[in-house]
Chains A and B, each alone.
Chain A
Amino acid sequence: MAEKVLMKGNEAVAEAAIRAGCRLYFAYPITPQSELIEYMAKILPKVEGIFVQAESEVAAINMVYGASGTGRRVMTSSSSPGISLKMEGISYLAGANLPAVIINVQRGGPGLGDIQPAQGDYFQATKGGGHGDYRLIVLAPSTVQEFADMADLAFDLGDKYRNPVMILSDGLLGQMMEPVEFKPYKTEDELKQLDEQHFDWCMYPNEDEPNHHHHEINSLEIDPLVLEQHVIKLGKKYDLIEKNEKRFEEYNISDENDVVVVAFGTAARIAKSAIDELQDAGKSVGMIRPITVWPYPYEAIKNVLHDRVKKVVVCELNLGQMVEDVKLAVNGKIPVEFLGKVGGILFTPDEIKTKILDK
């Protein structure tokens, strides 16, 4: 087994991305993700990688667009206000079927907000954010280890579906140190394979006729009938992702559950403490923790609502965003209650326990 190292989430995900074959990173400094850009600035030049501190979030995501168009693995990261600025570029990436990894170390909002952990960007990440009909694959880690592991997964999913992938983290996971175990670095052969996997569509050195290629990286289709087909094709891809890629964790789920909690990311790890304490006190509460918040695991929630379950409690670090998806999953069968904290404030396990026990 590989050695465990104590690292901040921001650094761990950066290291994991490099191990996953990411040699291109473009970003702009913002708190609370600064350790990530700093780690990339320090390490990438040592592995023949490219680090560019862009003049803006907008430029950074467009550098990602250009680099992704050449078929190579590329990443950017930011925090909430910066992610808003990237939304234009994210829509273009999606429209042009380009893979890329975008990390959002969420902070309090709206506007400039604060620099403490929050989950207020759930709607933006999972329901759009940029213009037009598109979907991001959105992964939500709840530990530093999972944050790091998701770098590899995000690149693989991005390449598999030619789609941008977001890791929806937050200031707590970014700043907190936990022991992490890393996968080995990709070998030279594996890196070469990654480099060539997109040669059927990407920009790369050309040849003379008859093997000359003219590849276009583009989201524009001025003819509505052509654009219609393009968007329908995107829709089919999203259907396939929904079919194949839903991920979730079941925690303490059993026939004894009276209440089921649904929470993601940092909120879920606090909820786990509450659930453990209640279990010790003889009260059985289960939890569904969505790991992909898009595609959303509606069925996973629906499947655990047996007759004994009296209510569902949704805990989020926002005013109530994912709760709308939980209500879709529960479909009016039993009450869905919400516990939220905003402004970068976390709830305590006791607050969650109180909400669960509330009649």
Chain B
Amino acid sequence: MEIIAQRPKSLTDLQFTYCPGCTHGISHRLIAESMDELGMRNKMMGVAPVGCSVFAYKFFDCDMAEAAHGRAPAVATGMKRARPDMHVFTYQGDGDLAAIGTAEIIHAANRGEHISVFFVNNAIYGMTGGQMAPTTLPGMKTSTSPYGRDEKDIGYPIQACELLNSLRAPYFIERVSLLSPQDIIKAKKVVKKALQFNKEERGFTFVEFVSTCPTNWGMEPVKAMEWAKENMLPFFPVRNFRDRSVEGGE
């Protein structure tokens, strides 16, 4: 019998610890499938963050390091510099990358480290139970912005792709969403492109996933996807920001 779908080799057989309807499982799978297809698994090292995806080091079946909160790009820098013959990616959430780890991501990008950064933006701190994230939308209620995020008091959400796009060194920056099957198919192509560039040692590559958190948003998964389309995409537009492989791609 022909096998038409199976677990990618680049994922272990451990059951994910994510909530039902969470998009982490999808982004894990897209990365793992791309690693398989590009034959990168045996030379891949990944860095897991602190946040819901803290156990990513158990889920990706390559060598993995678990970093302190926000420090993944620095850890990845050390790994890549120490073993330049290997490939390195980080997997980070919004609190990890855009709050406590802001310095590390900006400077790793600015150095043009030959790593891929996968950034999961669901506008909330999931693991600690639904607190305000640096990407929480204006007016959005969380457990630490119970009256809604007041941008006059705490500022506007940080747009990571736009921020990094102000730097000269990055090779590839794109925001995708995981809010429909079509979006996921498109996202897969972008993930694979980033890892292809990684494999070819082209430079720093960055992919942001506009994602959902049904549990902490207090919504059914399908409703969360609809809500994200209506509310997140206007603030976090899905598009390519930088692609040095094509003319005019920056």
Contact = CB atoms under 8 A, between A and B. Distances in A.
A141 B121 CA distance: 49
Contact of A217 (B66, B71, B85): B66
Interface string B217-237: 000000000000000000000
Nearest to A217: B65
B83 A204 contact: yes
A62 B104 contact: yes
B104 A65 contact: no
Contacts of A63: 74-75, 77-78, 81
| A26, A52, A59, most chain B CB atoms within 10 A | A59
A56 B103 contact: yes
Interface string A54-74: 111011101111111110101
Count class of interface residues, chain B: 35 or more
Main secondary structure of the interface of B (DSSP, over half): helix
Interface in B25-66: 41-45, 47, 54, 57-58, 61-66
Given A26-B78, A66-B82, A67-B82, A203 B57 contact: no
B13 to A, nearest CB: 11
A92 B68 contact: yes
B131 interface: no
A52 B57 contact: no
A59 B107 contact: yes
A220 B66 contact: yes
Interface stretch (A177-185, A208-216, A260-268, A339-347): A208-216
| B45, B71, B74, most chain A CB atoms within 10 A | B74
A206 B75 contact: no
B170 to A, nearest CB: 16
- Which 5 residue pairs are nearest across A and B when measured between Cβ atoms? A66-B78, A63-B78, A67-B78, A62-B74, A203-B63
Given A58-B74, A65-B78, 9 more contacts: A24-B82, A52-B77, A59-B74, A65-B75, A66-B65, A67-B78, A205-B43, A216-B64, A217-B57
Interface of A: 24, 26, 50, 52, 54-56, 58-60, 62-70, 72, 74, 88-89, 92, 96, 203-208, 212-220
Interface of B: 12, 41-45, 47, 54, 57-58, 61-68, 71, 74-83, 85-86, 103-104, 106-107, 111
